Amino acid sequence: GGVVTEVAGTVLERDGAAYRVATTDGEVRAVLSGKTKRDVPRVVVGDRVTILPDPVGGLATITDVAPRKSLLERRVPLGRGTRPIAANIDTVFVVTSNCDPAPVPQLIDRLLVVAEANEIPAAVVINKVDLDPGVWLEERCRKAGYPVFRTSARTGEGLAELRAAMAGRESVVTGPSGAGKSSLLNALQPGLTLRTGELSAKLRRGRNTTVSALMLPFEGGYLVDTPGFNEVGLWGIEPRELASCFPEFRPLIGECRFQDCRHVSEPGCRIQEAVAAGAIAPDRLESYRMLLEETEAEPEEWE
Ligand code: GDP
Ligand code: ZN
């Protein structure tokens, strides 16, 4: 028989006890070797793995999992740790429309904070620029330190820039319903079918199960279809670490008069001063305060 050599692959989906893995030789189904199972208890989509193909075409074996450059995790309360969802995400794109529906800054910020808490770079996509240029929103997000893409799924404006930012990389696209996520992705790659949207949300609730993430080949990279991103939530983010999830607050943290400043109503607060001076958008501080209350609240219901 021939010598079977190991190949590199990327985990696309969990498939029962096996994984669907993309390799340069096509897709294979693979199971974890005993050693891998001990070393990496949970292999997730986006994991870069080493595969030993089965010489007779059966299940391949995952013999190694490469160190992850990022890991999106759902936090579980009361010290019960975290559940990994997807590995090696390069960018979370938060899509919002300019109007119809009107943007809700707090909703955008909440998603940006989830990305920050997972240490995944985020960018904002302002869609429907054919309806409204949305200059204030762009300035607000740039001032906060985020790259901004201005797009119209209808006219095609800005699609080339967005495509270039996604090419060859692993992306998550999230944002409020109606912002135009499906329209944008379909404009970039016609025929793409995501499981996000109202129907799958209903199915999920009905079955009361967690839908796991799925990676779709996209622009020479991957799109992580994770209906759960919005549900990853803020649980487990310490109130103390929340300010550091606002990039424009970071240089000021520790500069306030009180070391334990919550940046709410304390005197000598550098962040409140920066807002008064116009360096930080007032509604960014508002978002922070709203999310602070949430992280300080006792979790009641879980999973
Ligand atoms: P999703 O819920 O974020 O996936 O949003 P959809 O892609 O379903 O879009 C919601 C609605 O907005 C649909 O009626 C789209 O036709 C419309 N829409 C999406 N993108 C644009 C755009 O760039 N310009 C305009 N005018 N309408 C858009
Ligand atoms: Zn402060």
Q: Which ligand is nearest to the CA of 155?
A: 1
For residue 11, the CA-to-ligand 1 centroid distance in Å is 31
Residue 143 has pLDDT above 50, yes or no: yes
Residue 106 has pLDDT above 70, yes or no: yes
132 Cβ below 6 A of ligand 1: no
Q: Identify the pLDDT of residue 81.
A: 74
Mean pLDDT of 199-211: 47
Q: Identify the pLDDT of residue 22.
A: 95
For ligand 1, atom 24, the nearest C-alpha belongs to 128
Its pTM stands at 0.90
- Pick the most confident of 19-28, 184-193, 291-300: 19-28
Atom of ligand 1 nearest to the CA of 196: 4
For residue 182, the CA-to-ligand 1 centroid distance in Å is 7
Atom of ligand 1 nearest to the CA of 186: 7
For ligand 1, atom 12, the nearest C-alpha belongs to 180
For ligand 1, atom 18, the nearest C-alpha belongs to 180
Task: Among 183, 229, 230, name the best residue to mutate to test ligand 1's pocket (greatest count of ligand atoms within 8 A of Cβ).
Answer: 183
Q: Identify the pLDDT of residue 99.
A: 92
Residue 46 has pLDDT above 60, yes or no: yes
Question: How does pLDDT run across 224-245, given as a tens digit for each residue?
Answer: 987 667 666 676 788 999 999 9
Residue 197 has pLDDT above 50, yes or no: no
Average pLDDT score over the chain: 88
99 Cβ below 6 A of ligand 1: no
Q: Identify the pLDDT of residue 303.
A: 45
For ligand 1, atom 22, the nearest C-alpha belongs to 128
Q: Identify the pLDDT of residue 77.
A: 63
For ligand 1, atom 20, the nearest C-alpha belongs to 180
For residue 159, the CA-to-ligand 1 centroid distance in Å is 14
Q: 260 burial class (0-12, 13-18, 19+ CB within 10 angstroms)?
A: exposed
For residue 280, the CA-to-ligand 2 centroid distance in Å is 13
Atom of ligand 1 nearest to the CA of 155: 23
Q: What percent of the chain has pLDDT over 70?
A: 88
Among 143-157, 197-211, 216-230, 255-269, the range scoring the smallest mean pLDDT is 197-211
Residue 2 binned pLDDT confidence (cut-offs 50, 70, 90): low
Atom of ligand 1 nearest to the CA of 151: 23
125 Cβ below 6 A of ligand 1: no
For ligand 1, atom 25, the nearest C-alpha belongs to 128
Question: How does pLDDT run across 70-89, given as a tens digit for each residue?
Answer: 998 877 666 667 788 899 99
